[in-house]
Structure 1
Amino acid sequence: MNNTLEDGSGPKLVYASVFGCILALGLPLNAVSLWTLVRHHSLKSPSAVYMVNLAISDLLLVISLPMRIYFYATDTWSLGVLECNLTTMLFRNNIRSSAFFITFISVDRLLAVVYPLRSRYLRTSYNAWKAAAIVWLSVVAMNIPEGLEFSEMLKTQSINQSSCFEYVVIPHRPVMSYIFSVLVFIMLAVNIVCTVMVSWTLNRHLSDSARVNNKVNVMLIFIMSLVMFTVCFLPVSVGLLTVTTKIGITPLVCLASLNCCLDPLLYYFSLDAFWKKKEDVGLPRRQ
């Protein structure tokens, strides 16, 4: 038992188990969610557009988990720098794109609840697809310099059978990590403002059942968004800038990966009658 703890195989088996559970839950949940969104909901709604892209982002993370599970379960990395880099970038892409899409969903709900008439020309599927395209292009743009820098660091540290996700030290922080960490704080602030404004608006119309059919579900959208930012996105973003070894970041990576299991709850609470086909999948319909 002591030898297991000393050589670090104990924690690595725990990481393998955690990633295995996330894979077992995240793959079917997001696959079913994506199928339901595409099959049962019109992509003419901005909310549905953001959620489809969010589900795709989560599935990209999920398909990278088997490599992490194999690494932590066997304590070996039989692949090369390119595969290690790709797996790492898929994880970072998920955190970045998910944070953006969840914020867009919150802003879209804010506009629908607080400014339903003034925002109807802004809340279109065309604008939602443009916003989604900008997010993916931004993520790819971050990948290029960061991926090159990450590959050089792995080569410098002589990646071998026991490295990749557990390399020894982080010599310096990529500029993109600083930029995104600032963006995470900004997006968290945006989500908080959206939550406060929507809560205030709903309280004003508390007696008007025609305003919103299910106020609890509306607020659960914002609560889930805040939970994912404070539990999944914020710790790993801060950790990437403050932790000096990859070993110290691994628990935060496990925590951040949970977002792909929580996002399907966001779809359920966001879309009225999630399992039924509707023309408008925004707020619950007015009477």
Structure 2
Amino acid sequence: MCNFTETENGTELNMKNTGYALVFGSVTILGLPLNVVSLWILLRRHSLTSPNAVFMVHLAFSDLLLVISLPMRAYFYATGTWPLSPMACIWITMLFRNNVRSSSIFITFICVDRLLAVVYPLRSRHIRTPSNAWKSAAFVWLVVIVVNIPESVGLSRFLNRYNGSACFEFRCHMRSPQSYFQAVLVSIMLAINVVCTALVSWTLHRQLSDSVRINNKVNVMLIFVMNLMMFAVFFLPASLALLFESWRPAFTALICLASVNCCLDPLLYYFSFDGFWRRKEEVDTSLPRQQLNTVQTEFA
């Protein structure tokens, strides 16, 4: 049987819940315009003509879904009540978990795409196509939805045994198969990002021509470092908290922290925007320069 009693006194608990409400409210206020504008720019200005743009559109869409779910979380922690149905609580919870899962995959796709652009710019062109990117993105969303079905059923059974005050506090339903899936998924995606970062760093250091400007190299590595930070700070702690008993008192705080990722993803778009513009405008038919230009134009 679950126990929802808290070790903090009422004042401490109220202060924590107020803090959670402020974080979720602040992320909503900041994240909503950032992601709406980012999505508009990606769709309007870049026309989904590169796999990187496709993945970033889906990443921005995932973040936007998370942002629109946060006002109700803020309301819940501010008032201590849940005015909607248990199913609404479940789907808002799913929007958060889907964001962690889908964002970790799309960020990894972006990372792998950048790796191929640096290490194999010519040989990977038949792989790095918008068509393949759309197929990959569709597969990601399909997997996410399939995982949602049994997870939603389990959370529904849990909520039927407890009143509305248990919304978002699924501490007795944390070690589900889907929770293990999320922790393993995020860990695997992090490992892929670490390998990609190491390979790109080695390539930039050892193989690129001296004519590549240092600013370009910095921009390249910033993308990879930002990706690693997303995993280490936002995705992994919240995912592991689903599994480890000792982490559960900090679970809601880690959820707050994880929600901030949707405000930082636009930085990833920013460091790629100039590359998108130049890639469209600059055409070089000289084969000896083509490999170098691929890296320069995509990461400038």
Calculate the TM-score normalised by the size of structure 2: 0.87
- Report if the CA contact (8 A) 1:199-1:219 is conserved: yes
Q: Distance in 2 between matches of 1:186 and 1:68?
A: 29
Q: Distance in 1 between matches of 2:296 and 2:209?
A: 16
- Report if the CA contact (8 A) 2:21-2:74 is conserved: yes
Match of 2:225 among 223, 226, 231: 223
**Aligned residue identity for 2:143:** S
Q: Distance in 1 between matches of 2:181 and 2:209?
A: 44
Do the aligned partners of residues 273 and 207 (structure 1) sit closer, same or farther apart at CA in structure 2, a change above 3 Å counting? Answer: closer
Alignment RMSD (CA, Å):
2.4
Calculate the TM-score normalised by the size of structure 1: 0.91
Q: Which residue of 2 aligns with 1:103?
A: 108
Q: Which residue of 2 aligns with 1:235?
A: 237
Per-residue CA deviation, residues 38-93 of structure 1 (Å, 9 max, x unaligned), is: 11113120000000000000000000001001111111111121111011000000
Q: Distance in 2 between matches of 1:112 and 1:280?
A: 18
Q: Which residue of 2 aligns with 1:64?
A: 69
Q: Which residue of 2 aligns with 1:78?
A: 83
Do the aligned partners of residues 280 and 199 (structure 1) sit closer, same or farther apart at CA in structure 2, a change above 3 Å counting? Answer: farther
- Report if the CA contact (8 A) 1:166-1:246 is conserved: no
**Aligned residue identity for 2:240:** V
Find out whether 1:5 has 2:7 as its counterpart. no
Indicate the structure with greater helix content. Answer: 2
Deviation beyond 3 Å, 4+ runs, structure 1: 210-213, 243-248, 280-284
| Percent of aligned positions that are identical | 60
Find out whether 1:285 has 2:297 as its counterpart. yes
Other structure's SS at 1:222 match? helix
* Residue segments in structure 1 that go unaligned for 5+ positions in a row: none
Do the aligned partners of residues 280 and 154 (structure 1) sit closer, same or farther apart at CA in structure 2, a change above 3 Å counting? Answer: farther
* Residue segments in structure 2 that go unaligned for 5+ positions in a row: 1-7, 283-293
Q: Distance in 1 between matches of 2:160 and 2:269?
A: 41
Q: Distance in 2 between matches of 1:11 and 1:66?
A: 17
Per-residue CA deviation, residues 139-158 of structure 1 (Å, 9 max, x unaligned), is: 000000001111101112x2
Q: Which residue of 2 aligns with 1:92?
A: 97
Find out whether 1:256 has 2:258 as its counterpart. yes
Find out whether 1:112 has 2:117 as its counterpart. yes
Larger relative contact order (C-alpha < 8 A, sep ≥ 6)?
1
Match of 2:166 among 153, 163, 166: 163
Per-residue CA deviation, residues 186-218 of structure 1 (Å, 9 max, x unaligned), is: 111100010011011111245532588711111
Moved more, 133-142 or 236-245: 236-245
How many Å apart are 1:112 and its aligned residue? 0.4
**Aligned residue identity for 2:135:** K
Q: Which residue of 1 aligns with 2:152?
A: 147
**Aligned residue identity for 1:177:** S
